Chains A and B, each alone.
Chain A
Amino acid sequence: MFLLGVATASPSVVVSGDEPRQCAVRNSPVAARAGVRSKRLSLPREYIESTGNGDLFEGWKAATATPTSLGVQAAKSVLEQVGVTIGQVGLVVGDTGTQYQTCPSEGQRIAGEFGVKTASFDLVGGIGAVPHFFSVVSRWSSARVPEYLLYVSTNTPTQQVDYRNDAESAGLFGDASVALVLSKQRPAAGRSARVAYAAFRAEPVRRLPIVIERTVKVHSAALLSDDELKHFIASELELLKRHQPEILQKASFIAPQLYAGAAHEILGAHGVSSRQVVSGVEDIGFSLGSSHGVALAQVWNTLEAGEVVVLMHCGDGQCGSVVLETV
């Protein structure tokens, strides 16, 4: 499978790291470790400041975007970017953790918005959804997949944040969607990438740092400690160097996005330069499974043939890395 393009969408409301004001967003160590400087919100700032978003259903009514509308926006952008029409897409795969409806699937809602009768379902990979998706499709037989595949991971966690009482979540989350187009054929022209390496394994202890049951909660005890994050990154780099000895010098790195800020420093200690490290949360906030894709979109247009991007993930019971190589 070849990745042909990546596009994102996020709401227009931008707030700085310690906003919205009058809300419990200051001193969020989780947001600091993620390296969040500003966030994109699909709730109006005034709504959050006046209500604290204490009622999920009222929040949904006030929202300026839904997971589906953001997903459709990203999907339209990526289709335009790669010059593929929705009619050429043979499979739509969705991912979300913030759905308004548990049925139908997000993939079906997004395909439905395009008005196409296309096979569609959800492949829900949690906070590592994008690297996990790459690891899945890298194992597929090309004989069984359609010419073009559209994947959309879309999340609006801010709509489920209790802004009055939950400083960690208020400081951490932002809303975004990412859409990818893949093809089983290498395109004759234009940028594309293939999954050159994918290795995921079970976490020794299953960690569930983010749980959404009406409201989103960060479970601090389930977060990787600094030592554990250092150990994880060091282990992954050892494995990656066996795959490609010069990878530390040449790759762009997308670390586990829940710890993107801390991981940036750890990667630096291994000799990875700052310009090689890409964050999908710094200007958007943590958008669950979409965050890796937001980071990938930032580097996509700058990639030259032969350059590689490493996506690392740890959480929800899995950890590992995926290497994309441009061709």
Chain B
Amino acid sequence: MGTCHPTTAIDNHFLEALDIGTNAQWIEEKIGILERVTTLPLDYIKATRNRDPRMAKEAAGATATDLGVAAAEKALSQAGVKASDIGMVIVNCCSPQQTVPGEAVRVAEGLGIHAEAYDVYTACPAFALHIDFLRNFDEAKLPEFVLCVSTATLTHHVNYNDRSDGAIWGDGAAAWVVSARNVGRLEVLDSMFAADPTRCAAVVVDSYGFFHQDGRAVRDFSVRQTVRLVKAIEESYPIDWNRDIFIGHQANRTMLEQITNNREIPPTNHWHNVTYLGNQAGAGAPASLSMHWDDMTPGQHIVVAVVGAGLSWGSIVMRVLE
């Protein structure tokens, strides 16, 4: 696995200084995020508040593709796999610079990969979708190595005059290499993906405009659905929260704490990165796992439960191998 995050941090005091009716204490108490990272220059946000998101592209120091390529390079390096060994690239991106060709084509091109490349897309629960999607294949018909990438630059779509949206989003990418034939450190035991599209208008990113959401409804859904996913896994697998690890959708820390409190998951066994990176859409959960790669111990279960736009949700149960 690999990740890439920009180095420019937006702290809560910066948002407070924008004078948009929020303050650092309120943000910390409400969503538990202290910093989020962005590919936009702080001077640009301060001067424009990104009132015209079309200008974000000109101002940004990197695109979602750049982040995805950098994360993928790290994943390939960690897996000991060359770009030429990759037989399929699938990518999830909710902030593409271009809608044609697909993001996967740009990422593959950036990596010099000459292989099947296409987008498999649902926004935030992409980690579960990609794993579940690949499990649909007859294993013999999958190439030896598949590269999965989830990348997002949602700060380009934030209206920084909105006190809530500006506090949530960060930019980032995560990548992971999957094989049906070569044993790695993690074995996928189970996965699922589902959706309730009747509520798809609850989270929207306009192609050349802003992000919008029905915040309260999405928050309630996220907590309830994640708890349901975790409970279902607890009923099917011998999960011991003193040994096993939970990773949720990195929407905000207070929401994650509601979930871990409900399932009595100790803070040491809850891996997250939202506090200092913000909500990186579909990249957040896999990035959390990647950032804790060296902390995994053999025999542990890694339980991923992710939710988001669509509305959609999914889960993965993995086991750490020797």
Contact = CB atoms under 8 A, between A and B. Distances in A.
Same complex: yes
B120 interface: yes
A102 interface: yes
Contacts of A197: none
Contact of A121 (B97, B201, B207, B312): B312
Contacts of B118: 123-126, 132, 136
B137 A140 contact: yes
B59 to A, nearest CB: 16
B207 A92 contact: no
B259 to A, nearest CB: 22
Contacts of B208: 56-57, 214
A203 B99 CA distance: 21
B163 interface: no
A101 B205 contact: yes
A47 B144 CA distance: 52
A108 B312 contact: yes
Interface stretch (A204-212, A241-249, A277-285): A204-212
Given A124-B102, A208-B101, A216-B100, A104 B120 contact: no
Contacts of A121: 120-122, 129, 133, 193, 195, 310, 312
Interface of B: 54, 93-102, 104-105, 108-109, 114-123, 129, 133, 135-138, 141-142, 193-201, 203-208, 211, 309-310, 312
A103 B205 contact: yes
Contact of B310 (A57, A104, A139, A211): A104
A40 interface: no
Given A108-B310, A127-B101, A206-B109, 6 more contacts: A120-B195, A120-B312, A123-B118, A126-B118, A127-B100, A288-B100
B195 A126 contact: no
Q: Which of A97, A120, A121 has the most CB of B within 10 A?
A: A121
B266 to A, nearest CB: 33
A98 to B, nearest CB: 7
A206 B114 CA distance: 8
A104 B194 contact: no
B200 A316 contact: no
A100 B198 contact: no
B45 to A, nearest CB: 21
B286 to A, nearest CB: 17
9 contacts: A101-B207, A103-B123, A104-B200, A107-B197, A121-B129, A139-B141, A203-B114, A208-B105, A316-B102
Contacts of A211: 98, 100-101
User: Interface on chain B toward A: helix, strand, loop, or mixed SS?
Assistant: mixed
A212 B99 CA distance: 6
A108 B104 CA distance: 20
Interface in A106-147: 107-112, 114-127, 132, 136, 139-141, 144-145
Interface string A82-104: 00000000001000111111111
B137 A124 contact: no
A100 B197 contact: no
Contacts of B142: 139
Given A105-B310, A122-B122, A124-B119, A116 B99 contact: no
B38 to A, nearest CB: 18
B195 A316 contact: no
B56 to A, nearest CB: 13
Contact of A97 (B100, B109, B196, B205): B100
A117 B195 contact: yes
A240 to B, nearest CB: 19
A46 interface: no
A317 B109 CA distance: 9
A323 B159 CA distance: 48
A66 to B, nearest CB: 12
Contacts of B310: 104-105, 108, 120-121
Nearest to A106: B121
B204 A104 contact: yes
A92 B99 CA distance: 20
